[in-house]
């Protein structure tokens, strides 16, 4: 019981904090980070407490029914893989909060920043602890939204807004594909529970729908993890504040796609589609990202493309489908998070201290920032895979996993070659980054740089220390967690062997070859032309994206212009015409218009009189040529219909009808009051006749449709509702019990739509007023 | 568009109209009424005040937008309350309590949900009408 509550509390704590932080503005620039850090630390403590049991081999699961009828349960599952990610999210989150405390000035919108950061953290924790695919999708979408808000944090900066939109659209489209894939998979397999799916992996793989589902899910994973050709949003997202880049775009959010690959590994890794799609995409991403990193001079952009490249490496490893590759990938997730977060924070320090992130203006910083220089050099060396750092260990595992003995492909030399090429590019851009910014001649800095405050430096120092410590004592620090995490990926126990020295292996030779080739590439490029950048790779994916978005907007604009004439008559005619056409179509293709027969319950007495009066009032409304009498006649129609409802003994309808009619009449009067004064309606006769015919056709059609529905024999569910209203809902008013209890879900949806509609009306009225003014 | 007659009527009608809205809401679970209708009634009453007096002359006791947010929160939290107790989302519960003087009263979580509906309907109606009237 205790452990399941702890598991639920891990994502719930930051979510709660996200709700409360906006109201905690008075805590100020000093208090807010402490509050955020306290919440994160509390969740981290819970995770560590749970971790002891998970490392011992007992995953924690907890399930609360949410909407059992649709297969959506709040199932949370914490196994080794979840634990690895939870520790990364919370641990790096804590460091990022400490870093952000000094990064932001006191006049920034800090409550909003920390609330958004906590929201993102909660969503991310939700993804990695979700035990139900639908639940995972919910959190997935939440990370997209939180990321959009955080990238656009500096909302006055057009680049930030553009980057935020781009990431939202790209990951949002991917999220839709993921949802579709999950629905196809869950629908075909009969469950959305991850444990149940993994338990029947062979059966799920063999489903005829499996390739479609996998393709869609991969689309979601690739967009989120910035794989080629969807990688372009990540560099655009660098307009975000550096703490956001360090957190979302190195350690956590971009790893969500990778996490999904790891989660689905036991189900799909044995298929050919998985091997070719995931390995191919990952390899292409690794090379394209590495190459493009050489083309940029902005530190954060270089790091962004480097992240793209490293994510490609991890993806490629999961694609290989072997146990050794899965261990290497899982290990590299941990290592990459450590050194990349350190590098991003260092870029933030450089920006903060020197006032620029552009290599063209930097250089020689080692004289001003000696400690930062050492930190960056170590982190970059870890990224390059130099012994004895953590990156060396995972790179070795990576090389080994690509060797012909481990994986069988048509061209056994291709994968090792790609691996070495990727490493060479990594070495080249790492060298360029370190040498370009910190060595060589003095740059022209906008600010005079000096060492940053301890609060900014200590998080980097801790991360770099972790890189060194894991490299030196991997079995003490990393093996237990890695074993549990990789064991969860491959769904059986694994025992990774990590050691700096394996003997003179092919992997060691590849390591040396990669670093040497990278160094040569860097030196050659410096020699040939100092300023020249390497050639670009064809049309960039970002340009294709821009063209697509432009085309979509132009198309939407054209379509809207075609029927949005600004005249109410056109809108009504389009709406009614569409209804008529759809009705006619379904009457033709459906069961047909029923033959007229005597109605079973014909109105009598008062009912007939009421109906006749309704007809009279409606005719007055339509035929009268002055506005105000028409409006009153329209109100009368509504009131009379209410009386007819009363005659039919439907008191709830009477009340609702009367009030809706009142409010609508007020609305119409208000609108007319503000319209240009025009006493008499003057329209050409032809137009009036045309409108009249359309109205007549729609009215007849509606009457026919209602009649058809009433004539259709069906078992009414009213008796169920009437019988169960009091015993199950505790209310005597069946209508109300249906609204707030039996169909409460619908009502919740409806009031949400109402709220959205109100926001829409408000925006439209304000926009209209602005253009009019 | 202010007229003395309308102004007088709107003043007199305000308390009984709001009381009637409350009456509609409370009886909703067992007799015709409920959050939706009560919300419309309240909004119509308030709008009448605005129309009769002119908006600028009236203080704004609550922001309509806040009502919408509050209503959605109440409705959602009511649904989530069931989760905390281990039932599926939106499971309702009801019981009977004895309140001194008033006597036997039946209460249900659905009434809380209905309160959310009431707030949203009031807020939305006010927002739309005031946006156009503004």
**SS3 track for A692-740:** HHHHHHHHHHHHHHHHHHHHCCCCCCHHHHHHHHHHHHCCCCHHHHHHH
Closest CA to A251 of A80, A387, A90: A90
B6 touches chain A (CB under 8 A): no
pLDDT value at A633 more than 60: yes
A606 touches chain B (CB under 8 A): no
- The Cα A9–Cα A99 span in angstroms is 25
Largest distance between two CA atoms of chain B: 58
Closest CA to A683 of A576, A577, A569, A572: A569
Q: How far is CA A487 from CA A88, A153, A370, A484, in A?
A: 18, 39, 42, 5
CB of A88 closer than 8 Å to CB of A478: no
- The Cα A80–Cα A68 span in angstroms is 27
A731: chain B residues, CB-CB within 8 Å? 29-30, 94, 108, 110
Tell me whether residue A201 is exposed, middle or buried, using C-beta atoms within 10 angstroms of its C-beta: 0 to 12, 13 to 18, 19 or more: middle
Question: Among A348-352, A421-425, B106-110, whose mean pLDDT is lowest?
Answer: B106-110
Tens of pLDDT, residues A205-257: 999 999 999 999 999 999 999 998 888 888 888 888 989 988 988 778 889 99
Q: If you write DSSP's letter for every residue of A654-695 in order, what string do you get?
A: HHHHHHHHHHHHHHHHHHHHHSPP--B----HHHHHHHHHHH
A68: chain B residues, CB-CB within 8 Å? 88
φ, ψ of residue A156 to 5 degrees: the values are: -85, -10
- The Cα A336–Cα A20 span in angstroms is 32
Number of domains comprising chain B: 1
φ, ψ of residue A76 to 5 degrees: the values are: -110, 140
Average pLDDT over residues B50-74: 78
Closest CA to A72 of A204, A211, A179: A179
The average confidence (pLDDT) of chain B is: 78
From chain B residues 20-49, the ones with a CB under 8 A of any chain A CB are 24, 28-37, 40-41, 43-44, 47
Which residue is it, tokens 């505790």? A730
- The Cα A488–Cα A83 span in angstroms is 10
A66: chain B residues, CB-CB within 8 Å? 83, 88-89
Task: Tell me the sheet residues that pair with B98.
Answer: B104
Q: How far is CA A453 from CA A96, A324, A362, A700, in A?
A: 15, 42, 20, 78
- The Cα A342–Cα A376 span in angstroms is 8
Reported as a pLDDT band with limits 50, 70 and 90, residue A336 is: very high
B129: chain A residues, CB-CB within 8 Å? 663, 666-667, 670
From chain B residues 66-125, the ones with a CB under 8 A of any chain A CB are 68-69, 71-72, 75-76, 79, 83, 86-90, 92, 94-95, 106, 108, 110-111, 113-114, 116-117, 120-121, 123-125
Tens of pLDDT, residues A516-534: 999 998 888 776 655 556 6
Q: A457's torsion region: left (phi>0), alpha (psi -120 to 50) or beta? A: alpha
Omega within 30 of 0 (cis) for the link into A602: no
Tens of pLDDT, residues A168-194: 999 999 999 999 999 999 999 988 999
Tens of pLDDT, residues B17-37: 999 998 888 877 677 778 888
CB of A534 closer than 8 Å to CB of A295: yes
pLDDT at B99: 58
- Which among B40, B72, B127 is the nearest to A660, CB-wise? B40
Instruction: Tell me whether residues B29 and A737 touch, CB distance under 8 A.
Output: yes
Average pLDDT over residues A71-99: 91
The average confidence (pLDDT) of chain A is: 86
From chain A residues 737-756, the ones with a CB under 8 A of any chain B CB are 737, 739-741, 744-745, 747-748, 751-752, 754-755
Q: Which strand (E) or helix (H) includes residue B107?
A: strand B103-108
Q: Quote the domain boundaries for residue B14.
A: 4-133
Task: Tell me the sheet residues that pair with A358.
Answer: A298
Handedness of CA A649, A653, A659, A662 (dihedral sign): negative
Which residue is it, tokens 């670009």? A536
Tens of pLDDT, residues A374-409: 999 999 999 999 888 999 999 999 998 888 776 767
Spatial neighbors of A493 by CB under 8 A, at least 6 apart, are A57, A483, A487
Tens of pLDDT, residues A139-160: 999 999 999 999 999 988 899 9
Q: How far is CA A185 from CA A268, A732, B74, B102, in A?
A: 12, 43, 35, 56
């Amino acid at each position: 019981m205790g452990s399941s509550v702890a598991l639920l509390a891990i994502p719930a704590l930051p979510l709660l904090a996200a709700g409360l932080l906006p109201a905690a503005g008075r805590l100020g620039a000093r208090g807010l980070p402490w509050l955020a850090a306290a919440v994160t630390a509390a969740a981290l403590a819970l995770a560590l407490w749970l971790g002891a049991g998970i490392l011992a081999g007992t995953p924690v699961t907890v399930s609360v029914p949410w909407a059992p009828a649709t297969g959506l349960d709040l199932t949370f599952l914490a196994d080794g893989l979840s634990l690895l990610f939870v520790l990364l999210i919370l641990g790096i989150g804590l460091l990022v909060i400490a870093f952000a405390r000094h990064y932001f000035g006191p006049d920034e919108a800090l409550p909003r920043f920390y609330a958004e950061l906590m929201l993102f953290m909660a969503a991310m924790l939700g993804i990695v602890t979700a035990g139900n695919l639908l639940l995972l999708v919910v959190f997935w979408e939440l990370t997209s939204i939180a990321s959009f808000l955080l990238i656009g944090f500096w909302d006055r900066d057009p680049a930030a807004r553009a980057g935020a939109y781009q990431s939202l659209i790209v990951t949002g489209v991917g999220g839709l594909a993921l949802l579709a894939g999950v629905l196809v998979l869950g629908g075909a397999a009969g469950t959305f529970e991850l444990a149940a799916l993994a338990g029947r992996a062979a059966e799920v793989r063999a489903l005829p729908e499996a390739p479609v589902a996998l393709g869609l899910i991969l689309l979601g994973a690739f967009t989120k993890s910035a794989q080629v050709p969807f990688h372009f949003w990540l560099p655009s997202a660098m307009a975000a504040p550096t703490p956001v880049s360090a957190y979302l775009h190195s350690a956590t959010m971009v790893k969500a796609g990778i996490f999904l690959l790891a989660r689905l590994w036991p189900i799909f890794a044995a298929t050919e589609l998985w091997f070719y799609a995931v390995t191919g995409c990952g390899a292409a991403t690794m090379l394209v990202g590495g190459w493009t990193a050489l083309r940029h001079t902005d530190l954060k952009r270089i790091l962004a493309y480097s992240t793209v490249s490293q994510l490609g490496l991890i993806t490629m490893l999961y694609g290989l489908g072997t146990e050794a590759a899965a261990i290497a990938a899982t290990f590299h997730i941990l290592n990459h998070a450590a050194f990349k977060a350190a590098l991003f924070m260092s870029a933030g320090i450089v920006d903060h201290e020197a006032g620029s992130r552009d290599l063209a203006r930097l250089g020689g910083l080692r004289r001003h920032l000696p400690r930062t220089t050492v930190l960056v050099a170590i982190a970059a060396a870890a990224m390059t895979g130099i012994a004895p750092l953590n990156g060396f260990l995972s790179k070795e595992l990576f090389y080994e996993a690509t060797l012909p003995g481990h994986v069988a492909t048509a061209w056994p030399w291709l994968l090792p070659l790609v691996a070495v090429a990727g490493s060479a590019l990594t070495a080249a851009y790492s060298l360029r980054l370190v040498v370009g910014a910190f060595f060589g001649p003095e740059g022209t800095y906008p600010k005079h740089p000096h060492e940053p405050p301890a609060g900014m430096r200590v998080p980097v120092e801790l991360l770099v220390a972790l890189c060194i410590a894991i490299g030196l004592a991997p079995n003490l620090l990393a093996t237990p967690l890695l074993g549990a995490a990789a064991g969860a990926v491959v769904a059986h126990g694994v025992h990774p062997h990590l050691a700096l020295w394996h003997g003179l292996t092919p992997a060691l030779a590849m390591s040396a070859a990669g670093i040497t080739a990278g160094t040569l590439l860097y030196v050659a490029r410096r020699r040939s032309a100092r300023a020249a950048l390497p050639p670009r790779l064809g049309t960039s994916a970002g340009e294709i994206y821009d063209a697509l978005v432009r085309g979509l907007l132009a198309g939407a604009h054209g379509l809207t212009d075609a029927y949005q004439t600004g005249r109410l008559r056109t809108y009504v005619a389009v709406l009614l015409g569409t209804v008529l056409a759809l009705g006619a179509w379904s009457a033709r293709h459906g069961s047909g218009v029923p033959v007229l027969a005597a109605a079973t319950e014909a109105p009598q007495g008062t009912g007939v009189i009421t109906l006749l009066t309704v007809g009279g009032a409606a005719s007055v409304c339509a035929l009268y040529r002055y506005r105000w009498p028409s409006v009153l006649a329209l109100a009368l129609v509504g009131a009379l219909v209410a009386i007819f409802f009363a005659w039919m003994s439907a008191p709830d309808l009477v009340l609702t009808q009367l009030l809706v009619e009142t409010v609508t009449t007020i609305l119409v009067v208000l609108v007319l009051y503000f319209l240009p004064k025009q006493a008499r309606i003057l329209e050409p006769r032809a137009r009036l006749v045309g409108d009249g015919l359309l109205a007549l056709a729609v009215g007849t059609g509606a009457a026919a449709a209602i009649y058809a529905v009433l004539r259709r024999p069906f078992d009414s569910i009213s008796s169920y509702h009437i019988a169960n209203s009091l015993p199950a809902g505790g209310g005597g008013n069946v209508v109300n019990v249906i609204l707030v209890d039996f169909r409460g879900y619908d009502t919740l949806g409806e009031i949400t739509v109402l709220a959205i509609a109100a926001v829409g009306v408000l925006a439209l009225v304000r926009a209209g007023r602005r253009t009019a003014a | 568009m202010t007229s003395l007659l309308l102004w007088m009527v709107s003043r007199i009608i305000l308390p009984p109209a709001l009381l009637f809205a409350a009456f509609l809401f409370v009886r909703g679970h067992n007799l015709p009424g409920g959050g939706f209708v009560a919300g419309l009634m309240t909004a119509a009453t308030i709008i009448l005040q605005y129309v009769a007096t002119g908006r600028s002359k009236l203080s704004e006791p609550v922001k309509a937008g806040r009502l919408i947010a509050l209503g959605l929160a109440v409705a959602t939290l009511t649904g989530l309350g069931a989760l905390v107790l281990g039932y599926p989302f939106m499971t309702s519960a009801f019981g009977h309590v004895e309140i001194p003087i008033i006597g036997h009263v039946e209460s249900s979580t659905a009434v809380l949900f209905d309160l959310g509906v009431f707030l949203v309907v009031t807020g939305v109606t006010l927002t739309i009408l005031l946006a156009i009237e503004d």
